[in-house]
Amino acid sequence: MHRGRNIYVLAGLILCLAIFSGCWKQTGKEVVLEKPQQEYVLNVGDLAVISLDENPSTGYSWHYTISNEEVAALESESNQEAEGNAVGTPLLHTWKFKCLEKGNAEIHFKYYREWEGPKTVVKDLTYLLSVK
């Protein structure tokens, strides 16, 4: 009699594992993109990480566009202050882009003052993604 009950308990556990394993969020690896104009090959689910120095006290900041938002989209962004409290100390601005589906995308970064607009770009960087 206990053996029959154990089989049902075991079957229930296996069923729960099967159901919940599909609910776990599968995450890929983080790939740091250090060099603009280089093609980076990533997998669906990976995070493309780009970190750039910026100095908001001068009014300059990075602005990005993605050529194909079906392939990659912004997952998160953060700022890390440099050590020290000196005025004008640059920040390290980090963006994490999630690779959503297979294809190619370019992430363009332009460094300019918001109030002057993109026609006054002082730095222009492009990162090339090939998602497999």
* Tens of pLDDT, residues 43-68: 999 999 999 999 988 999 999 999 99
Taking phi over 0 as left and psi of -120 to 50 as alpha, with beta for the rest, 128 belongs to beta
Residue 41, pLDDT > 90, answer: yes
* Tens of pLDDT, residues 94-116: 999 999 999 999 999 999 999 99
Whole-structure pTM value: 0.76
Give percent of the chain above pLDDT 90.
Answer: 67
Task: Judge whether 16 lies within some domain.
Answer: no
User: Residue 58 — φ and ψ, nearest 5°?
Assistant: -90, -5
Residue 22, pLDDT > 50, answer: no
CATH number at residue 90: 2.60.40.2020
Domain assignment of residue 60, given as a range: 27-131
Structural domains counted in the chain: 1
Residue 21, pLDDT > 50, answer: no
Helices marked H in the chain:
2-21
What DSSP element (H or E) covers 92?
Answer: strand 91-99
Task: Judge whether 96 lies within some domain.
Answer: yes
